Amino acid sequence: MSRMWQWSCLAALLAAGVATAADVPGLTQSGKPDLKSAGALAFGPKGVLFVGDTQGAAIFAIGVGEAPKAAIGDGFKLEGVDGKVAAALGTEAADITINDVAVEPGTGIAYLSVARGQGPDSMPAIVRVDGAGKVSVLALDNVPYAKVELTSAPAADAKDRRGRPLRNEAITDLAFVDGKLYIAGLSNEEFASKLRSLAFPFAGKDTATSVEIVHTAHGAALETRSPVRTFVPFNVGGEPQLLAAYTCTPLVTFPVADLKPGEKIRGKTVAELGNRNNPLDMVVYEKDGKQYLLLANSARGVMKISTDSLDKQPALTEAVTGGGTAGLKYETVAELKDVTQLDRLGDKHALILVANDSGKSLQAVALP
């Protein structure tokens, strides 16, 4: 999900055309980035793609070079995208996993982060898709890039109580706004859930804030070990905030002014969207003078949530039982089914990755 924002408005798209990557300040190294994995994506300055490397517990800024001329537009649909990506990587569709999709602002070109193979031995790749349906692997043998290793990341062999690797959640989402990259994920500390930030060009280590929430679907318990799954920068009542979604599915706001190094803060739970569900991806947009959040989920479809009353929504502090909902209201977008990833494609469209029994497809759809 490519999130390059300004606080003063929903989204400021970059002008068409991409500067040569070598001309971008901040890409201080040249060669082959030592990516161990490729997960969450976000675009920053022109031609710079941020890649979350969970296995390496690092953030890479990679110069993607000049964009292809064939932009993805209205009506675009690429069926069997997993097979086409696999073919570009010299393998079979069953051998690849598409982890994230990001659209480069101002170009209409999509980038996919991919794992070839399964488990810790899988190989990372970045794949580019243009409006003609051409799928090509972004060559990483000799590119300008920069790298920062995360502080206090979970150890490579650390497991949660169910035996799942904690390193897989070191980086769950990224967003770039006003020269700063925000990073959600887990740390190796007891108060594990973190929101980190890095100024770009990279000038030092990340700064981290411990975040907790009132998890209304879990008996209104305080949650400190579950990571933010997906988030967007958002202006709430004139104040820059991060709007974040968690598993089972609270929606929470965090004032950016409170995200200070070493601090522990509690977010404001503004909605409970239903349990037994994992939020997958979200974007914000404006339509007919109103602002909305579009949220893809594992079990509850794609939700359209009006954010007009977000600043007036009281904090939820009581338990919500029986799979119920509370706080901000939503409507399910019936025509959007099996969406696993989405990103803004200009002001009026989104690019979605659909995965069902028929396979995977990449589609441009009108924002509802």
pLDDT (tens digit per residue) in 212-258 = 999 999 999 999 999 999 999 999 989 999 999 999 999 999 999 99
The string of pLDDT tens digits covering residues 48-83 is 999 999 999 999 999 999 999 999 999 999 999 999
DSSP 313: P
Return the closest-CA partner of residue 27 out of 191, 148, 136, 152: 148
Helices (H), 64-219: 81-88
| Class of CATH domain 4-366 | mainly beta
**6-25: average pLDDT:** 45
- Give the distance, in angstroms, between the CA of residue 248 and the centroid of all CA atoms in the same chain: 18
- Give the distance, in angstroms, between the CA of residue 329 and the centroid of all CA atoms in the same chain: 23
Return the closest-CA partner of residue 341 out of 282, 300, 284: 282
Q: Please give the C-alpha separations between residue 61 and each of 45, 146, 224, in angstroms, as whole numbers.
A: 10, 5, 29
pLDDT over 90 percentage in the chain: 91
**250-273: average pLDDT:** 98
Residue 62 near residue 44, CB atoms below 8 Å: no
Residue 6 pLDDT: 52
CA–CA gap between residue 36 and residue 64 (Å, rounded) = 18
Parallel, antiparallel, or unpaired: how do β-strands 359-366 and 326-327 relate? Answer: unpaired
Task: Report, in angstroms and rounded to the nearest whole number, the Rg of the chain calculated over CA atoms.
Answer: 19
Parallel, antiparallel, or unpaired: how do β-strands 221-223 and 230-236 relate? Answer: unpaired
Backbone angles phi, psi at 184, to 5 degrees: -100, 150
Q: Which residues on neighbouring strands pair with residue 180, listed in sequence order?
A: 177, 199
pLDDT at 337 over 90: yes
Structure tokens at 258: 């409170």
Structure tokens at 129: 């898709």
The string of pLDDT tens digits covering residues 111-139 is 999 999 987 789 999 999 999 999 999 99
Give the helix/strand (H/E) hosting 356.
strand 349-356
Amino acid at 79: E
pLDDT at 30 over 90: yes
Q: Where are the domains of the chain?
A: 4-366
Residue 161 near residue 147, CB atoms below 8 Å: no
**168-177: average pLDDT:** 97
CA dihedral for 28, 187, 277, 347, sign (positive or negative): negative
**Average pLDDT, whole number, for the chain?**
93
Structure tokens at 73: 């537009």
pLDDT at 15 over 80: no
Amino acid at 103: V
